Amino acid sequence: MAILYDMPLYRPPSEGNNLIVQATIGCSYNRCTFCSMYVTKDYRARPLDEVFADIDAGARDWPQAHRVFLADGDALCLPTGHLIEILDYLAARLPNLSRVSAYATPKNLNEKSIEELAALRETKLSLVYLGIESGATAVLKRIRKGASQDSLAKALGRAREAGLKVSATVILGLGGRAAWEDHIAGTAELVNREPPTYLSTLQLDLEPAVYSRFIDAQEPGFEFQDDAGILAEQERLLSLLDPPRPVIFRSNHASNCLPLAGNLPKDRDALRAIVAAARAGAQPLRPRWIRGL
Ligand code: SF4
């Protein structure tokens, strides 16, 4: 029998061609004000026998699968021994397995020792997707991320020390019109302090289910950025980013008005020139009707 997923099921765009196994249901944190992904689910770890049965089904249907994404919202929350049992089972059932990845929260990374993270790396969990959202502590507080710039830098540093690759996402527009400069300055400071392997920018696009929760946690009079404001944020971010190690940069998520791709710091000026052209009206923006999360 094929895997029966507990819906809704989310995975990063780059995992679209890989096998997905739900090690957990929901998100153990589930309080970020902008995030609607798991509002309908109560967090729980799935028993190992259920996860193994899904891996058996996946291996039967797709024996040559070589990459696996562990869903749902933060499989890294699981105790390390439990995760290693899943990773060992994956390796036993999928002979071509080369990489396992999962979403992680900053707390997940900070609660595990570097030795535990390195042990996960050794058993092929080599990539984590981390929503940093912003590097500005005041913005992080208003979106109830449960993290500060310092705790995000610590999480990124621990992953790096353990040999894990991190794909980090930033959400343009989270500071609104009043706090966009703080949002971008703090984000650049964080990335320059502790660069992830990959950095992507998304554009704030709230689902109706979380609109009130997001607004209620903001300062009164919060105003959303329009595309012109988002492009000003993108250009400022690129101008401030100067990571001490190479970062693969993308803004190709479906929410973005202007897709970008390059390597930092090498392509920074070329990327800035594309954004400047878009701000001047010389570069078309992605039409609203084809944007989406
Ligand atoms: S953004 Fe990530 S940590 Fe926050 S509620 Fe959503 S899934 Fe959980």
DSSP-assigned beta bridge partners for residue 125: 100
Task: Categorize the per-residue pLDDT at 292 as very low, low, confident or very high, splitting at 50, 70 and 90.
Answer: low
CA distance 42 to 165: 28
Instruction: Write the pLDDT tens digit of every residue in 201-259.
Output: 999 999 999 999 999 999 999 999 999 999 999 999 999 999 999 999 999 778 888 99
CA distance 293 to 286: 14
Give the list of residues 6+ apart from residue 291 with CB closer than 8 angstroms, or none. 203, 205, 254, 255, 256, 257
The per-residue pLDDT for 293 is 47
| Residue in 173, 152, 129 with CA at minimum distance from that of residue 20 | 129
- Hey, which of 11, 22, 25, 27 would you mutate to test ligand 1's pocket, going by the most ligand atoms within 8 Å of its Cβ? 27
Angstrom CA distances, 210 to 32, 35, 43, 129, 176, stand at 10, 7, 18, 22, 16
Ligand 1, residues at Cβ distance < 6 Å = 27, 29-30, 32, 35, 37-38, 73, 105, 131
- Hey, which of 9, 32, 107, 140 would you mutate to test ligand 1's pocket, going by the most ligand atoms within 8 Å of its Cβ? 32
- Enumerate domains of the chain plus CATH numbers: 13-282 (3.20.20.70)
Number of the ligand 1 atom closest to the C-alpha atom of 29: 8
The per-residue pLDDT for 170 is 98
Number of the ligand 1 atom closest to the C-alpha atom of 30: 5
- Give nearest CA residue, ligand 1 atom 4: 32
- Give nearest CA residue, ligand 1 atom 6: 35
CB-count burial class (<10 Å; 0-12, 13-18, 19+) for 186: buried
CA distance 28 to 46: 13
Instruction: State the distance from the centre of ligand 1 to the C-alpha of 38, rounded, in angstroms.
Output: 8
Query: What pTM, to 2 d.p., does this model score?
Result: 0.96
Coil, strand or helix at 141: helix
